Structure formats: structure tokens, C-alpha cells
A and B are shown apart, each in its own frame.
Chain A
């Protein structure tokens, strides 16, 4: 089973997908239209790129910061949470799922990505 299928089986996950670090390819499953999944993948790629740059700058200025390489990021809104680890994103309904479980699963299932991939 792919990670996206596994994620969709988790409580509260309403959509999940993968995006390419470079270029605009993406795949997704769940309750998002093709167009909205494209928008989501563009946003996820942009934020992943930002946090990677920031972590490498932080590391350059303050070695052993413990943030490099970044594994992922979360944006927690009132109703939903975007959870991204490596190049996999998923959308969680806050009232139905557990962020800790999701992050734990994704951190374990997705290996750390070499910086030159991003």
C-alpha cells in the first residue's frame, strides 16, 4: 500500500497526496478536486522550500540547531490542519483525527530527504 492510501485510512484525514520537489507534478486522493489539489501542492512545495532555506540559514549562523534537515511542517487552522512530511501532504479534520498520531506515522514512514533533492 502506498503512504497516501495509508494516510487516507487514518481517522480525520480527508485528503492526501504527493508533490514533486521540482516541477509541478503531483498526485492525490480524497476529498479535493484536481484543481484544488494542484493549488495545495504548489503551496506545499513553496513552504517546504522556505523552511528548508530557513533551516539551512539557521544552521549556517548557528550550527547544530537541530532543525536541519527539516522533516516537515504543520499549519493548524480552526477547522483543519495541513500536515507535510517530505513530499507528502495531508489534510486533517481537527475534530476527527489526532495530529500526534499523524506526525508520528509520517515521520516513521518517510525517511529524511537529502537537501539536494529539494
Chain B
């Protein structure tokens, strides 16, 4: 069972996806293709890549200026939209970096319906420490 499949089991999960840092979707699961299609997911992934980069820049700057640690590396960025939320993470990559690997796994994301969204459960799956091969 892959992480994408686990993300799809979250309450209100509409889609789950893997994407590159540059935004391209590599793999996806879509629960309701009439609500979210591949084209939307592609745009969403590009947007999330931008947001993670900006949040990382902010965490870096904030920790430097304030001395308050605990933001970097960003574990997840979440956009709470009007009806949907999207949670994305590149945390698995950090584990690979710590293990000295140069080839990194993709970023991961999940789209949730706001009414039933369980952000903590989404973070829990995305923060699960997978073994580094």
C-alpha cells in the first residue's frame, strides 16, 4: 500500500498526488474525476511547488532574524480554499538528504474537502518516516 493510497483514505480525500519541485505531477489518484481532473491537479501541483519554496524562504529568514527555531525545514504547506484544502509536503526528501542520498523522492500532496478535512491525520501520513533504501 503506497502513501498515495493511504492519503486517499483520509476523510474527504478528493485526490492525492506526487510531484517534482518544479511542479510536474508524477503520479496521482483522483476520487471524483468530475470534480478534480488531471489538468486541475497539474496546476495545483505547480502552485504548491511555488508555495513550498516561498514558505521555505520565509522559514529560513524567520529563524535567522528571530533565532526562533522550529519552522525549517517546512514539513507541510496547506492552502485552505473555499471548499477544498490542499496539503503538500517534501519531508520524505529531508530524510533522504539526512541519509546522504542525492536522488530524492517526489513531493506529495492531498486534496481534502474542507468540511471533513483532518489536517492532523494528513500531516501524520505525510510525516511518516519511510525507510530510506
A and B touch in the complex (CB under 8 A): yes
* A residues apposed to B, CB below 8 Å: 36, 39-40, 43, 46-47, 50-51, 54-55, 57-58, 61-62, 65-80, 82, 85, 94, 98-100, 103, 107, 112
Write the chain B residue with the least CB distance to A102. B119
With a CB–CB cut-off of 8 A, which chain B residues contact A80?
68, 70-71
Write the chain B residue with the least CB distance to A80. B70
- Closest Cβ of chain A: how far from B71's Cβ, in Å? 4
Choose one: B40, B65, B76, B114; the contact of A39 (CB below 8 Å).
B65
**Is the CB–CB distance between B39 and A62 below 8 Å?**
yes
| B44 at interface by CB-CB < 8 Å | yes
- Closest Cβ of chain A: how far from B113's Cβ, in Å? 8
Which label, helix, strand, loop or mixed, suits the secondary structure of the A interface? mixed
Choose one: B36, B43, B65, B77; the contact of A75 (CB below 8 Å).
B77
Choose one: B68, B69, B72, B119; the contact of A103 (CB below 8 Å).
B119
Choose one: A46, A73, A77, A107; the contact of B78 (CB below 8 Å).
A73
